Amino acid sequence: MTLAGRYNIASMRLADELGTAPGINGTNIYDRFTPAVGVNYNPSKAVNTYVSYNEGMRAPTPVELTCANPSAPCPLPSAFISDPPLQAVIAKTFEFGGRGMLTPNTSWSAAVYRTNLYNDIQLVTNSPTGVVGYFTNIPQTRRQGIELNLQQRLGTVTLQAAYGYVDATYQSTFFLPSPDNSSANAAGNELVQPGDHIPGIPRNNFKLRADWQATQKISVGGTLVYSSSRYALGDENNQDINGPLPGYTVFNLDGRYQMTDQLQFFVRIVNLFDRKYQTAGILGENFFTGPNFTYNLAGAQPSMFSSPGAPFGIWAGVRYDFGRPAKAAPSAPGDAN
């Protein structure tokens, strides 16, 4: 059994150096004692199990502290104005898991966890453009899920599989301004309830990787990455007509040539099949609804804007490790020792 305790104290002093926003002057202090307890049990040399509970604290950042007034939203993330204080985020986590060896060449790990966050800080956009908003405390959110990992060695080939399930939800009822959400009320607010999924967090993630040590100096590898759908910012109640962003699958390749102990040449290929996909989204108002997507103020419509994933790309480079001494060459017969 392991018992631990930590006292956190964070002090942030904000000062107006330009003389244009004296209201930000002041000091914010956050402190909390965070305990932790863990128990490990090893039923055999090949299996290790554990259960743990721990708490953590995150103090608001300066930009969050100075952009927290709903009546005075700021152009994120650079405007510092006088705003009401935010509460520190408190996390309480339970976790149970294990790791071990099935065979000398097969290893595994598994974990189940639940983290409740109190006073979680979230960005709220309350303008049609989506670039003006404020940060606010959410009473309670939760992240819970499982993590599974498996690794297998087959001679010169190593296979790795990793799966993660994350159920990230709100655990309280509140209204948020979201005028471009199709389910918003007449005041432009959406009703968020316990069980609604937090935007931007996919529920399923899967990664499969293979590495081949072709020779002592040459190795090649490939990775398959899958990510499931996720909701856009502004769709915290998960009821917008646009629905979530679709999931995606991409393939990456890489290779290395270890010329010496210190010198390595490498090449990396991302998105091998040039898959078109989106990684994040936000609800906003689309002003380019005219012919050929021209600007049309009168015909603006609520839309979902998404950020595209990286397209097909190739990178090649050289690494040199100055900290690793080169191995001495073997001495020839007859050399003095």
Helix (H), strand (E) at residue 55: strand 47-58
Record the tokens describing residue 105, joined without a space.
Answer: 């060449």
Record the tokens describing residue 302, joined without a space.
Answer: 């609520």
pLDDT for position 307: 93
Binned at pLDDT 50, 70 and 90, residue 27 comes out as confident
Contact 142, 148 (CB under 8 A): no
d(Cα 292, Cα 181) in Å, to the nearest integer?
A: 25
328, pLDDT greater than 60: no
Residue 113 Cα to chain centre, angstroms: 17
Q: Which residue has the tokens 């996919």?
A: 202
The tens digit of pLDDT for each residue in 263-297 reads: 999 999 999 999 999 999 999 889 998 888 899 88
**Nearest-5° Cα angle at 280, 277 to 281:** 105
The stretch 196-225 carries a mean pLDDT of 97
pLDDT for position 83: 56
| Mean pLDDT of the residues in the chain | 89
The listed range with the strongest mean pLDDT (65-69, 73-77, 232-236, 293-297) is 232-236
Query: What is residue 130's DSSP assignment?
Result: S
24, pLDDT greater than 60: yes
d(Cα 147, Cα 166) in Å, to the nearest integer?
A: 9
d(Cα 75, Cα 111) in Å, to the nearest integer?
A: 40
Closest CA to 255 of 286, 214, 292: 214
pLDDT for position 281: 93
d(Cα 176, Cα 174) in Å, to the nearest integer?
A: 7
The tens digit of pLDDT for each residue in 242-260 reads: 999 999 999 999 999 999 9
Binned at pLDDT 50, 70 and 90, residue 75 comes out as low
Binned at pLDDT 50, 70 and 90, residue 19 comes out as confident
126, pLDDT greater than 70: no
> Nearest 5°: phi and psi at 130?
80, 0
The stretch 106-132 carries a mean pLDDT of 84
For 185-247, where are the E strands, in sequence order? 189-192, 204-213, 218-227
Q: How far apart are the first and last CA of the chain?
A: 53
d(Cα 69, Cα 86) in Å, to the nearest integer?
A: 10
d(Cα 96, Cα 218) in Å, to the nearest integer?
A: 39
Alpha carbon distances (Å) from 194 to 59, 74, 173, 190, 219: 25, 28, 6, 13, 49
The stretch 82-104 carries a mean pLDDT of 89
